[in-house]
Amino acid sequence: MSGNDHNIHDFDITLICEYFSSMDRQGPGSQEATQKALSFIGDMHEGSRIADLGCGTGGQTMVLAQNTPGNIIAIDLFPGFIDKLNDNAQKLNLQSRVKGIIGSMDKLDFQLKELDLIWCEGAIYNIGFEKGMNYWNKFLKKGGYVAVTEASWFIEEQPKEIFDFWNEAYPEIDTIPNKIAQMQKAGDVVIASFILPETCWINNFFVPGIRAQKIFLDKYKGNKSAEEFVKYEKHGAELYNKYKEYYGYVFYIGKKI
């Protein structure tokens, strides 16, 4: 079997989490992109309630905390990521405003209309964009904001190889106008959207990935599942380089009406 025969859902979640724990970000993104998205969002103050869903080890959580007042609850399913996030918050002296907790983005323990801002970079795909947008909207105050990144097609028609890859990995990938329409239907005015630059993928995700792959393969020498996972990750990077004009991550920023 080659790495090309797998899709991400085939792999052992504990192994995947260990692999990604050694990286500062678990998906494409950057400090600049987080700050740019934040620049569209006004009115945050010390009492603001912010949720960062699918936060991973908290790359974007720390940028948020350093650039907004308010309290951030960061939620992720994987305990190892949350431990790392809380350690990082402590190191940056943000622990009074940033709390990482274990939980699922589809079972939120907030009051209805409690939140001023919901943030989610590279993670809404876990429950699906439409479902996530509709469910999360209930927890936002009127006038509250939602900011997410989501895999999106830039062009209506795609070459079969990349269409098939995404159809396996995340069939809800769609064009930017369709994603915007889904947000609007969920009850948000879409105030901005922008494509994440290539550096978010290459410098901040694939390049650190090469280091993570080396550490991982040294540790799991001979482990078929670990080797197949690394092949899958490499294949993803090759496809991105080949087809990056067709797709990427897009930041979508909405305001609840």
State which of residues 100, 122, 236, 254 lies at the interface with ligand SAH (CB under 6 A): 122
Interface with ligand SAH includes 25 (CB under 6 A)? yes
Interface with ligand SAH includes 201 (CB under 6 A)? no
Total chain residues near ligand SAH (CB under 6 A)? 22
State which of residues 62, 64, 81, 88 lies at the interface with ligand SAH (CB under 6 A): 81
What sign for the dihedral angle of Cα 241, 242, 245, 250? negative
State which of residues 19, 78, 243, 252 lies at the interface with ligand SAH (CB under 6 A): 78
- Between 25 and 255, name the residue whose CB sits nearer to ligand SAH: 25
Interface with ligand SAH includes 76 (CB under 6 A)? yes
| Measured distance CA(186)–CA(94) in Å, rounded | 33
**Shortest Å, Cβ 56 to ligand SAH:** 3
DSSP letter assigned to residue 10 = G
- Between 122 and 254, name the residue whose CB sits nearer to ligand SAH: 122
**Shortest Å, Cβ 51 to ligand SAH:** 11
Task: Please report which residue ranges of the chain form alpha helices under DSSP H.
Answer: 13-21, 31-38, 59-67, 79-91, 129-137, 160-169, 176-186, 198-201, 207-219, 224-243
Interface with ligand SAH includes 29 (CB under 6 A)? yes
The answer to whether residues 122 and 116 touch, using CB atoms and an 8 Å cutoff, is no
Q: For residue 134, how many other CB atoms are within 10 A of its CB? A: 15
Which residue reads 């105030």 in tokens? 191
Restricting to residues 130-189, name those near ligand SAH by CB under 6 A: none
Interface with ligand SAH includes 209 (CB under 6 A)? no
Binding region for ligand SAH (CB under 6 A) out of 77-85, 193-201, 206-214, 234-242: 77-85
Q: Backbone phi, then psi, for 36, in 5-degree steps?
A: -65, -45
Residue 200 token pair: 């978010």
Count helices and strands in the chain by DSSP H and E runs: 10, 8
What residues make contact with ligand SAH under the rule CB under 6 A? 25-27, 29, 54-56, 59-60, 75-78, 81, 104-106, 121-123, 126-127
